[in-house]
């Protein structure tokens, strides 16, 4: 139940990020680079310090699934996503429903990752949930910004963001229902694979989506915010006694 609650919080974070763009575009646009820097710092450090080591300790194919998760999101963005914006002047000409396949997949995996992490330990579950929540908020900002720039009506923007948001608790529910069907000898390799997949997607989102946004602002504040995200996870790692 705790894992499901956090998946709902992650969904709410996505919706809040999207709604801020819809109803307060100036604030969201002015601060999204800083939010992206903080989220990227937490995701990279969380993946390498917590998730990947836990996955490897379980045996299985956790290391392989790190690469699979990374490549999977890369392929989705290459095939289905619209051209990336690298500056404020670029214009994305068209967006189709397929463009949201990658976002939906990633949000769904986030829900699975939260549940899988809580199966390992409550501390890991809380840290993974934190990482998910932190990057779901700027993901909502990014999604809403793209649709707003395309001049989609507010109802349509809300609908697309809702689909991405609800995918996280949907993934959590499916995982909760599925875990009961695994026998004890199969659960650890399964969790190892899911955690590896989550780490791969976290790393990709951090280095391919969030860091490029933060690089658009060249000042010490962005660097400090990025490092604060890293320090947060490192501090949590040592405080929990591992």
Q: What is the pLDDT along the chain (242 residues), one digit of tens a residue?
A: 788 999 999 999 989 988 887 887 677 667 778 877 887 888 888 889 888 887 887 777 888 999 998 998 888 777 755 545 444 444 333 443 444 555 676 788 888 888 888 887 888 888 888 888 877 777 677 667 656 655 677 888 888 889 889 999 998 998 888 876 665 556 678 778 888 888 888 888 888 877 887 777 778 888 998 998 888 888 877 765 55
Residue 231 burial by CB count (10 A; 0-12/13-18/19+): exposed, middle or buried? Answer: middle
pLDDT confidence of residue 234: 84
Q: Which of 123, 240, 172 has its CA nearest to residue 10?
A: 172
The three-state secondary structure class of 100 is helix
Tokens at 9, concatenated:
């919080």
Tokens at 54, concatenated:
């836990």
pLDDT confidence of residue 73: 80
Tokens at 207, concatenated:
């280095």
pLDDT confidence of residue 160: 84
> At how many degrees (to 10) do helices 184-204 and 25-46 cross?
130
Q: Which of 227, 213, 230, 233 has its CA nearest to residue 31?
A: 213
pLDDT confidence of residue 21: 76
């Amino acid at each position: 139940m705790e894992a499901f609650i956090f998946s709902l919080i992650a969904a709410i974070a996505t919706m809040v990020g999207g709604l801020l763009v819809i109803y307060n575009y100036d604030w969201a646009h002015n601060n999204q680079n800083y939010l992206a820097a903080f989220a990227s710092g937490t995701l990279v450090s969380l993946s390498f310090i917590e998730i990947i080591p836990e996955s490897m300790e379980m045996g299985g194919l956790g290391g392989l699934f790190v690469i699979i998760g990374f490549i999977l999101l890369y392929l989705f963005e290459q095939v289905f996503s619209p051209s990336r914006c690298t500056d404020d002047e670029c214009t994305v000409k068209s967006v189709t429903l397929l463009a949201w396949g990658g976002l939906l997949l990633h949000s769904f995996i986030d829900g699975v990752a939260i549940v899988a992490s809580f199966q390992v330990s409550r501390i890991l579950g809380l840290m993974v949930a934190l990482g998910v929540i932190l990057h779901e908020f700027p993901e909502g900002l990014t999604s809403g910004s793209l649709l707003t720039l395309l001049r989609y009506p507010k109802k349509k923007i809300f609908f697309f963001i809702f689909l991405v948001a609800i995918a996280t608790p949907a993934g959590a529910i499916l995982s909760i229902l599925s875990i009961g069907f695994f026998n004890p000898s199969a659960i650890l390799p399964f969790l190892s694979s899911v955690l590896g997949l989550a780490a791969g997607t976290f790393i990709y989102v951090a280095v391919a989506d969030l860091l490029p946004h933060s690089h658009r602002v060249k000042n010490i504040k962005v660097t400090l915010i990025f490092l604060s995200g890293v320090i947060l996870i490192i501090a949590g790692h040592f405080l929990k006694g591992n």
